[in-house]
Amino acid sequence: MITKGPADELNHFKNSVAMTVTLISFGMMFSSLFLGYFLVRFNAPAWPPVEIENLPKLLPFLSTVVMGLSSWTFVLLERRTEKKALWSATFGLGVLFLVLQFLLWNSLAASGILASNGNVPSMVYAFTWLHAGHIVLALALVLWLGYLIFFRPTGLTDVKLINVGKFWHFLGVIWFLMYLMLFVL
């Protein structure tokens, strides 16, 4: 199914250069958000501020576990031959992550924490929105991999798997950082 030859290696090289640049770009966008977070945090009189004393703890924790699991299944998807099962697991976990984010927003709103309630709620919402937006983009790419796996296995190459994988793991890392900043520390 997957061929490795000199032409493939050349192809791999150009894609890994491009993917590195792309991830630097995305990374800079998220770093700008984190810069805002640190400015707010170090200028705050007390941490955590009153507005977020009762932030939900369980849902973001579950999201983190789901995200971690999906990264793991993606690594297996890149390495093992049971593509269909592993793809389904990854895609399912990705969708589950989005569902958990919706539940998180609902429970925030239910406990009276709205985006307009000040800096910290603004950050919780804006960061999770932006991250979820990127997850949607990444799921579209995963869906495309699924199309290849199920219907056009000849079109599936290592390069495609690895590059979508890099984006997926990258979003996992970003989520983990957000989780630490917003819900743990």
Partner 1 sequence: MAFVEQHIHDAPTSFWSKYVVSYDHKVIAKQFLWYALFWGLVGGLMSILIRWTLAYPGVPVPLIGNMLFPASGGVVPPDTYAMLFTLHGTIMIFFFITPLLIGCFGNYCIPLMIGARDMIFPTLNMLSFWFAMASGLVLFASLCIPLGGAAGGWTSYPTLSTNIGQPGAGQTMWLISLFLFGISSTMGAVNYITTVITLRAPGMGYFKMPLTIWGLWLTAILNAIFVPVLGAGLLLLTFDRVFGTTFFLAGAAATSGRGDPILFQHVFWIFGHPEVYILILPAWGIVSDLLSFFARKPAFGYKMTALSLSAITVLSTVVYGHHMYTTQMSPLLTQSFMTLTMLISIPSAIFFANWLGTIWKGSIQFHSPMLFSLGVVFVFGLGGLTGLYLASTSIDLYLHDTYFVVGHFHYTMAASVLLGGFAGVYFWMPKMFGRMMNETLAKWHFWLTMIGINGIFMGMMIVGYGGMHRRLYNPFIYEFLHKLIPINNFISYSAFFAAAAQILFIYNLFKTVFAKNYPAAGKNPWGVGTLEWEIDSPAPHYNFKDIPVVKCGPHEFGNPNLTTGRDYQYQTEELVKV
Give me the residues that bind partner 1 (CB under 8 A), please: 7, 10-11, 13-14, 17-18, 21-22, 24-33, 35-36, 39-40, 43, 51, 114-119, 121-123, 125-126, 129-130
Name the minimum Å distance from CB 140 to partner 1: 15
Distance from C-alpha of 162 to C-alpha of 170, rounded to nearest angstrom? 12
Residues in Cβ contact with 183 at an 8 Å cutoff, skipping those fewer than 6 apart: 55, 57, 60, 61
Of 147, 140, 149, 148, nearest in space to 171 by CA: 140
SS3 content of the chain, % helix, strand, coil (to 5): 85, 0, 15
Nearest CB to partner 1, comparing residues 54 and 68: 54
Instruction: Count Cβ atoms below 10 Å from residue 90 Cβ, excluding itself.
Output: 26
* Shortest reach from residue 16's CB to partner 1, in Å: 10
Complex with partner 1: residue 126 or 184, whichever CB lies closer: 126
Q: Closest approach of Cβ 33 to partner 1, in Å?
A: 6
Q: By the 8 A CB rule, do 67 and 99 touch?
A: no
* Shortest distance (Å) from residue 56 CB to partner 1: 19
CB of 29 to partner 1, least distance (A): 4
Scored b (16 or more CB within 10 A) or e, 172-183 reads: bebbebbbebbb
Any residues with CB less than 8 A from the CB of 45 and at least 6 apart, and which?
none
Q: Which is nearer to partner 1, 96 or 181 (CB)?
A: 181
**Residue 18 CB, nearest approach to partner 1 (Å):** 4
Residue 50 and residue 120 in contact, taking contact as beta carbons nearer than 8 Å:
no
Task: Rank residues 77 and 123 by Cβ distance to partner 1 and give the closer one.
Answer: 123
Q: Which is nearer to partner 1, 39 or 85 (CB)?
A: 39
- Residue closer to partner 1, measured from CB, 1 or 29: 29
